[in-house]
Amino acid sequence: MTPPAPRRRVAVIGTGAIVTGSHLPALGAHAERAELVAAVDVDEGRLDGFRQLTGAQVAGFTSTDAMLDAVRPDLVLIGTPPALHREQTVAALKAGAWVLCEKPLCLSPAELDDITAAEEATGAYASVVFQHRYGSGAVHARELITRGELGAPLVAHCQTTWHRDAAYYSLPWRGRWATEGGGPTMGHGIHQYDLLLHLLGDWEEIRAMAARLVHDIESEDVSTALVRFRSGALATVVNSVLSPDEVSRIRIDCADATVELTHLYGHGNDDWVYTPAPHVAPERAAAWRTPAQDVPSSHVAQLGALLDAYDRGVRPPGSGHDARVALEFAAALYKAAFTGQPVRAGEIGPGDPYYSAMHGGHPEWAPKERA
């Protein structure tokens, strides 16, 4: 018999709400496979409170480098503001640790190339948290679409219509290109359109609009896009923080069925609905029902998949191409919106202004000099 894999030693960087509310429960669910050994936070008071919350002997540090040198963890979970992600991810990779980082993994395709280079140099991997891919409903829908069970995908809608008030943007790092990387296109809707891209595969062309309608911020507070996929399917994507009736929704109309997902911050099997076309036999439609096992989309599910990959020594889901897809889509959406021109997949590379910053240096969108 193959001996069980050793328990992985885990550190967290950042001890705020996303770590306490999502990463800690995930670690608890996988306690037989992963052990929290260290935490990093520049706020010593918050760090002390976190260590008390864990009820365990967790070493505390105010410096990422000091923690990596002292602890040498197997896995690092990053839950800090977006501007810190690239630097902290690269440092963890260079220390030999695998990484699971909150979205966005970094702020530009150029920064993503830095992470890729660190992966190649170290043999460690960095995954981004896109937990909606890992619920059993999403896994089932992707299998059906990929196998052609629902017929060819034709029309899709992807909607993240949320609401954020002025108080939300009172934190100094929100709504600024240098610290958040963008508005709802980067910080909110990215979960839904990542899942859409996961379900439908490669896209070919995007046309878009963006606006700053309500909030006094550098980035947009709403964006919309029209997308053509390699399969020929057409999709609309809406990312908003201006919508009082909040909902997250994906709808894909295929030749033989419509599949719909409606939720807010996470989904289970019951959130997925399949509607057969009139010509589909009832027994065929019955086979589309969601699986008996109901695995909600969550950090628990994604951490389990990452630990499985670690145990096998293979690239984990959410890294490499998986991480690049959504970030390059965001860059293309911004370029299409700010230039008013269609953008083709793969056209943003070194030398393109949108390669190094999502605002592309556009005079109406780039950060202004502060007095």
DSSP string for residues in 272-321? EEEEE-TTS-HHHHHTTSPPSS---SSHHHHHHHHHHHHHHTSPPTTBTH
Chain center to CA of 14: 17
Dihedrals φ, ψ of 36, to 5°? -75, 120
Place of tokens 């070493």: 59
Q: Which residue type is seen at 13?
A: I
Quick: pLDDT tens for 143-160.
Answer: 999 999 999 999 999 999
From residue 106, alpha-carbon distances to 11, 49, 86, 169, 237 in Å are: 19, 28, 5, 20, 21
From residue 65, alpha-carbon distances to 48, 93, 117 in Å are: 19, 12, 19
Question: Closest Cα to residue 15, out of 52, 58, 50, 45?
Answer: 50
pLDDT of residue 1: 67
Report DSSP state, residue 23.
I
pLDDT of residue 316: 98
Distance (Å, rounded) from C-alpha 147 to C-alpha 207? 29
For 314, half-sphere exposure in the C-beta direction (CA atoms, 13 angstrom radius) is 5
Listed as ranges, residues in the chain with pLDDT below 70 are 1-2, 369-371
Q: Are strands 59-61 and 75-78 parallel, antiparallel or unpaired?
A: unpaired
Chain center to CA of 179: 17
Dihedrals φ, ψ of 324, to 5°? -75, -35
* Model pTM score: 0.96
pLDDT of residue 314: 98
Q: Given its phi and psi angles, is residue 156 left (phi above 0), alpha (psi -120 to 50 degrees) or beta?
A: beta
Partner residues linked to 273 by β-bridges: 260
Q: Are strands 257-263 and 59-61 parallel, antiparallel or unpaired?
A: unpaired
